[in-house]
Amino acid sequence: MELPAYSGAEGHIDLVGGRTHCMVDQPLDRETVNAIDRFKMLIGFMPLRAVQQTILQSETFWATAEDEAEEIDLAAIETEWEEAKDAIEPLAYDLEDVAIEPLPDDPEVKAHIEELAEMEFFTDTYGDTDEHYELGMVPIDHLIARQASITVTGHREIPSWSDDPLGVIAYTLPKERHQGVFQQAIQSSDNSMVGYQFTSRAPNISIHDVSIVDTGQPMMKSILFRLRAPPNIVNVWRVNDRLLLNNGYHRIYQLMSQGETHAPAVIRDSDKIRRTGDFTEEELLGDRPPVLPDFESDISTTIRKPATNDLIRITAESTEVYR
């Protein structure tokens, strides 16, 4: 599904993959989200130097038990890092002995999945046949974490299996994008630079291609940029019978923190790890990789750091150059 195109005399921006209500023609409302957010970080699986650099470079603060921010103490970082490493223990279960359970046998759930599977953004990503993927319930304790930190602040009410099964499905396998993409026209005071910028709280916004389009008018061309901002689907890669969480860390953490043991996801098979993230392939496929429950253990610590948005800026600039 294509959103309305926004054009100027010399440019054309075409937004693809969402619905019209997902685009808001105004700057991002910064009062609705936290500027400083709370994160859990798996410092026990990270080298000390990486922990220190992450904290110092991002102007991070430790969060105390009273949830107050304190300035960084490098000695305290090393002490907590050593304690976190000592907290790593062998898992009581085999990560490769994992069963994917079917989704709930519910008419509303089935209707949601059928509609989702036919949507353009979904078929573009996962293919239009069930040979490319499967949908099922993954055990959260078997999910291997590719990233070392996740945001833990809840920004909306979390549904539960007991009260709202369809809500859990829509939370993890949404048909619509819940975070808006905010667009804003930009230009310089002398009009030598004009453009648009697009800001998204969720990271799944990207430029797919750019092309020059004939307008049918002499000496005038349109430039077509295609941006994609699809709904954020929880998905997992299955590599060597292990489940690596690819997308949906915040939502899986929220479900886990309220006692849920399984989460809906799209599962795809691969013969290799496509993106390792914060850990090496050897760590992810080793005897004791980081798993989602580790974020709720002494292996992790709570930190505060500035929250970020993804921004795409498309500009046209006019300037003089030497011949």
Which pLDDT belongs to residue 255?
96
Residue 162 is given by DSSP the state T
Which pLDDT belongs to residue 26?
40
Whether residues 20 and 150 fall in one domain? no
Which pLDDT belongs to residue 2?
33
Does 255 reside within a domain? yes
Under 8 Å between Cβ of 61 and 304:
yes
Among 184, 160, 233, CA closest to 25: 184
Does 296 reside within a domain? no
Which pLDDT belongs to residue 207?
87
Which residues of the chain carry a pLDDT beneath 50? 1-31, 65
Does 80 reside within a domain? no
Which pLDDT belongs to residue 128?
57
Whether residues 215 and 110 fall in one domain? no
Q: Which residues of 206-222 are buried (b: 16+ CB within 10 A; e: fewer)?
A: eeeeeeeeeeeeeeeeb
Q: Which residues of 242-274 are buried (b: 16+ CB within 10 A; e: fewer)?
A: bbbbbbbbbbbbbbbeeebebbbbbbbeeeebe
Residue owning tokens 């699809």: 230
Annotate 76-106 with DSSP letters as a single string. HHHHHHHHHHHT----SS-TTS--PBPPP--
**Full residue range of the structural domain in which residue 219 is found:** 6-31+180-231+310-317
What is the SS3 assignment for 53?
A: helix
Say how far apart CA 11 and CA 20 lie, in whole Å: 20
Q: What tokens were used for 218?
A: 């002499």
Whether residues 146 and 249 fall in one domain? yes
Say how far apart CA 114 and CA 109 lie, in whole Å: 9
Which pLDDT belongs to residue 123?
86
Helix ranges, 103-203 (H): 107-117, 120-126, 165-172
Say how far apart CA 178 and CA 251 lie, in whole Å: 13
Does 269 reside within a domain? yes
pLDDT digits (tens, 9 = 90+) for 149-199: 998 887 778 999 999 999 999 999 999 876 678 889 999 998 889 999 998
Which pLDDT belongs to residue 37?
83
Pairing mode, strands 61-63 and 206-214: unpaired
Which pLDDT belongs to residue 59?
65
Does 22 reside within a domain? yes
Domain count, the chain: 2
Does 67 reside within a domain? no
Annotate 215-281 with DSSP letters as a single string. -SSTT-EEEEEEEE------EEEEETTEEEEEE-HHHHHHHHHTT--EEEEEEEEESS-S--TTS-H
Whether residues 97 and 165 fall in one domain? yes
Q: pTM for the complete prediction?
A: 0.79
Q: Report the chain's terminal Cα–Cα distance, integer Å.
A: 45
Among 229, 246, 255, 240, CA closest to 285: 240
Whether residues 225 and 260 fall in one domain? no
Q: What tokens were used for 198?
A: 């697009």
Does 70 reside within a domain? no
Does 199 reside within a domain? yes
Say how far apart CA 141 and CA 31 lie, in whole Å: 35
